[in-house]
Structure 1
Amino acid sequence: MENCTLYTHDTDMKKVLTRIRAHFGEQAVKVTGRDHHWEQLTITSGKKLLRKGNTLTITWRQRAMPGYQLVRNDDPVIINLLGMYAFVQQLPAENTMLQERLLAKVATINTEVLLLAEPSFNGDLRAAVMELAQELDGIFFCEKNFIFNTDVQGFWDKTGALLLDVNGHSTATNLTVNIDATYFDRQETPSDTANNRKQRNIQLLKDMNVITSVNLPVISDESQTTLRSATAVANRVAVLAAVNTVAFGYLDGPAVISYLQQHRLWEETTAAEKAFLHDPQEDQRTKETWKCEDIWVLLWALKKVPSLGEMDALCNLDMVPEEAFPFKGPGSSPAAFLAAATEIRNPTEILDANDLYYRANWACVDARIKGEKEPLHPGIVYERHYALNWLINYRNQPWDEVRTDT
């Protein structure tokens, strides 16, 4: 068995899945978790380009607060990076300028991608790993593996050139340090409103025995947020409600496709939803059933349900009044629902909920990283955070691409 770690400033792990699928073929890759927020990728023997008896497993973890500096706190990724920084600093480098560039690179790392090969990184696996490094502009730390044909512990760049080993040797001559410009655009002095919201929700979670990091930043306040319109929310929940019936097996894909086309909602249906309706695979059905929680959040935003309820309790869509639910079967019409959806909750209510689920999601992710039991139901928290991020136009991302950064 061989392993190495790819370190990157990038936080978009969907790139990894896309690249691995492009290399090995979509059917060869088993995904644990959702495509847009996967937890583990496994490529096994007998698949395209992979020799019999070989397996590649990929996992990852990220800073709680992505950035480009190392500020000491209790974040496990930061703790690891600080140790790495000290390790690089004390190495007897022959090329001290390159060592300084490596130190600068370490400070910008946001994501650790762990690569585990069984029994080894053969030529096929090496090619895939190097493609990832190029995609993520990453650096490697490893020892005794086929990728770099070495028995020495050290750091390598995305081209395979040696940056620095434990003996101070290098073959690379330069290292580029790229930083996402968005980190320089962050609000330096959070408003009192945003700070007060943060403190209230930290205390609320503490009262529920959910401990979250005090180092997480505030979210945007009312002056910086433009909510989705009531029309956009109504159209989105109307599509979700229809697609959800296929996830649970109540209707088949063609029936729902016909319904969405008939009522001019097909153009509101995302590429991922269309692909699911055309070919509803079993694993995707399971993922789509969780969209009940997203539907619940959007109905709450439209004031169709009075509250989000307990954070750790599954929603019950049967509690929604019939006139307040957009889909009542393929023979029904969403027209009355869409016409009545003219009002959305005020920004303060939605931002309060978004901030709360953001901090709760961090607590669940942190527990999972540590191998501990999540303090809340992670599926509920994740989906509600997802829908709330869409509502506040987080990073202006469309539905299929919403991120739930923690």
Structure 2
Amino acid sequence: MSVNITLYASLESPTTIFEKIMEQKQDRYIVEFGEETLQIFKKGLFKKKLIGQFTHRVRQQEDANQFTQGLIGYIHQEIHGDEAIKQKLLIQGEHTNVMLGCMIEEDEAEAFFPSYFQFIQQLNGFIYVPSGDIISVDGQEIANGEGQIIAEDFTVQVAKRELKSLFDVTETVENQGRRVASIAKMKARHIPYTENLSLLPDSKQVRMRSVEEIARRAAVVLILIQFVRELLDEKEETNLKTSKRIAEVFLNRYGVKLNLTAEEEAFLAQEDYTQQELINKMWLYEAVWVMLWSIHLVEELAEPTQICDVEHTLNLLMNYTNIGELLQDAEARDVTEVLNRMDENYLYHWACTEARLQGEESPADLDDGVVLERQRAFNWITQLHEEQWDDVTIHS
């Protein structure tokens, strides 16, 4: 039998967690690299004894929204008691970027864990035990196995690299009223909702991207989507070379080649693509639809129950010979209107995530993929998390 616990941490350098463990000086234990794990040995007089191991998983950008889904769902549904502490747990969980598992033989656990807790006190986060207990890094119980919060307080500790602007949002009449309206809409459509989601900035707090920045980003993504469509139709090598050449021509024609991100440049440079890579890129047409809507190049943002008009989106770019012509027709949509739709989508995203965790269909015919990509666009347009396009994260 073994004892298993998991640390959910928010670290400045999440990939160095194994190195941090190796640096610890222990009189009783030795830690050595195994295959993708750190093996824990107890020192003996003549030989060492294997008593457990550390495993870790670091959040990758493409996995950002699924990384702690199970944990967030558990806190939402099973943890009860002091709502302020519950909200802090949710915030801490949402900003987790590394999970460190520790498995120790049961008869060694009592002697080993004091050393373990001494080490993790220098880290940010909390520990989850399979019994359902949640424990702070200094060993204090926050919630017991029945899901009852028993701690008097809990301090959120988030790495600077993980800080989101949501921490800085001030409650105002505007954003509180907006949330009330969004919840009223959820009720009317019989969509589950939570009152624990952080408020979004109001029109005075938000920092909208410029019309030109949005237009250039939309143009780049549309050109990449057309490139991907051609590859999905035919993935022969000659077609790949031709498609790359055409994409290059259009990037230069519209004057947006310099607006390619590092990831987009690397994507275009690939010699081969998996089907899933191409499908993931295609879904970005939903993000582009929101971008174009935000600058009045698309007039309607329907409920996210079906995919947008892909052909219309792609043809729209073809109506212009360069980005300058497009910008003549672009105009910033009212900030309040953008935030209203963003707040609704924020609640839709939470509802879709909850349904997925329960193995259920999304409520009210919401399309989970559409909601997800719209949130990506909204977060980028409003600079919600102060992230560049390659790094946009989507939290619910």
Same fold (TM over 0.5): yes
1:209 aligns with 2:187: no
State the Cα distance separating 1:344 from its structure 2 match. 1.1
Contact in 2 for aligned 1:32/1:39 (Cα 8 Å): no
User: For residues 78 and 61 of structure 2, what CA distance do their matches in structure 1 show?
Assistant: 22
User: TM-score normalized by structure 2?
Assistant: 0.64
1:110 aligns with 2:111: no
Counterpart among 289, 295, 317 of residue 288 in structure 2 = 295
State the Cα distance separating 1:249 from its structure 2 match. 2.0
Counterpart among 287, 291, 306 of residue 313 in structure 1 = 306
User: For residues 77 and 154 of structure 1, what CA distance do their matches in structure 2 show?
Assistant: 26
1:394 aligns with 2:375: no
1:107–1:334 distance in 2 versus 1, CA, 3 Å: closer
Letter in 2 for 1:245: Q
Letter in 2 for 1:394: L
1:11–1:248 distance in 2 versus 1, CA, 3 Å: farther
1:242-257 matches, cutoff 5 A: 242-249=223-230, 252-257=243-248
1:278 aligns with 2:269: yes
State the Cα distance separating 1:345 from its structure 2 match. 0.2
Counterpart among 39, 52, 55 of residue 66 in structure 2 = 39
Query: In angstroms, what is the RMSD of aligned CA positions?
Result: 4.7
State the Cα distance separating 1:264 from its structure 2 match. 2.9
State the Cα distance separating 1:74 from its structure 2 match. 7.0
Letter in 1 for 2:385: R
Contact in 2 for aligned 1:63/1:110 (Cα 8 Å): yes
User: TM-score normalized by structure 1?
Assistant: 0.63
Letter in 1 for 2:181: R
Q: Which is further off, 367-376 or 236-245?
A: 367-376
State the Cα distance separating 1:9 from its structure 2 match. 4.4
User: For residues 384 and 345 of structure 2, what CA distance do their matches in structure 1 show?
Assistant: 14
State the Cα distance separating 1:388 from its structure 2 match. 0.8
User: For residues 356 and 11 of structure 2, what CA distance do their matches in structure 1 show?
Assistant: 18
State the Cα distance separating 1:141 from its structure 2 match. 6.2
Deviations 1:364-384 (A, max 9, x none): 112222333222221110000
1:80-95 matches, cutoff 5 A: none
Contact in 2 for aligned 1:294/1:386 (Cα 8 Å): yes
State the Cα distance separating 1:225 from its structure 2 match. 0.9
- 1:240 corresponds in structure 2 to 221
Q: Secondary structure at the match of 2:66?
A: strand
Identity %: 20
Letter in 2 for 1:275: A
1:147-296 matches, cutoff 5 A: 156-157=116-117, 179-180=157-158, 186=167, 190-249=171-230, 252-279=243-270, 281-282=273-274, 283-296=276-289
Letter in 2 for 1:387: A
Deviations 1:118-143 (A, max 9, x none): xxxxxxxxxxxxxxxxx74x665655
1:394–1:178 distance in 2 versus 1, CA, 3 Å: closer
User: For residues 364 and 153 of structure 1, what CA distance do their matches in structure 2 show?
Assistant: 41
- 2:317 corresponds in structure 1 to 326
User: For residues 152 and 371 of structure 1, what CA distance do their matches in structure 2 show?
Assistant: 40
Deviations 1:28-77 (A, max 9, x none): xxx9997153637xxxxxxxxxxxxxxxxxx754547xxxxxxxx97137
State the Cα distance separating 1:320 from its structure 2 match. 5.0
Q: Secondary structure at the match of 1:224?
A: coil
Deviations 1:260-304 (A, max 9, x none): 145431210111111221225122101001011011111111111
User: For residues 184 and 239 of structure 1, what CA distance do their matches in structure 2 show?
Assistant: 26
Task: Using CA pairs under 8 Å that are at least 6 residues apart, name the structure with larger relative contact order, 1 or 2.
Answer: 2
* Count of residues in correspondence between the two structures: 313
Deviations 1:106-158 (A, max 9, x none): 89852698xxxxxxxxxxxxxxxxxxxxx74x66565548xx97599968449
Letter in 2 for 1:232: E
1:367 aligns with 2:355: yes
User: For residues 338 and 298 of structure 1, what CA distance do their matches in structure 2 show?
Assistant: 13
1:15–1:301 distance in 2 versus 1, CA, 3 Å: farther
User: For residues 387 and 237 of structure 1, what CA distance do their matches in structure 2 show?
Assistant: 10
- 1:7 corresponds in structure 2 to 7
Letter in 2 for 1:35: E
1:262–1:216 distance in 2 versus 1, CA, 3 Å: same
Q: Which is further off, 262-271 or 305-314?
A: 262-271
1:174–1:405 distance in 2 versus 1, CA, 3 Å: closer
> Any gaps of 5 or more consecutive residues in structure 2?
19-34, 37-57, 132-136, 141-154, 232-241
- 2:339 corresponds in structure 1 to 351
Q: Secondary structure at the match of 1:7?
A: strand
- 2:76 corresponds in structure 1 to 75
Contact in 2 for aligned 1:190/1:218 (Cα 8 Å): yes
User: For residues 173 and 299 of structure 1, what CA distance do their matches in structure 2 show?
Assistant: 49
State the Cα distance separating 1:310 from its structure 2 match. 2.1
User: For residues 39 and 74 of structure 1, what CA distance do their matches in structure 2 show?
Assistant: 15
- 1:90 corresponds in structure 2 to none
Contact in 1 for aligned 2:65/2:394 (Cα 8 Å): no
1:378 aligns with 2:352: no
User: For residues 167 and 334 of structure 2, what CA distance do their matches in structure 1 show?
Assistant: 24
Contact in 2 for aligned 1:298/1:387 (Cα 8 Å): yes
State the Cα distance separating 1:318 from its structure 2 match. 2.6
Contact in 2 for aligned 1:205/1:212 (Cα 8 Å): yes
> Any gaps of 5 or more consecutive residues in structure 1?
25-30, 41-58, 65-72, 86-104, 114-134, 167-171
User: For residues 367 and 106 of structure 1, what CA distance do their matches in structure 2 show?
Assistant: 21
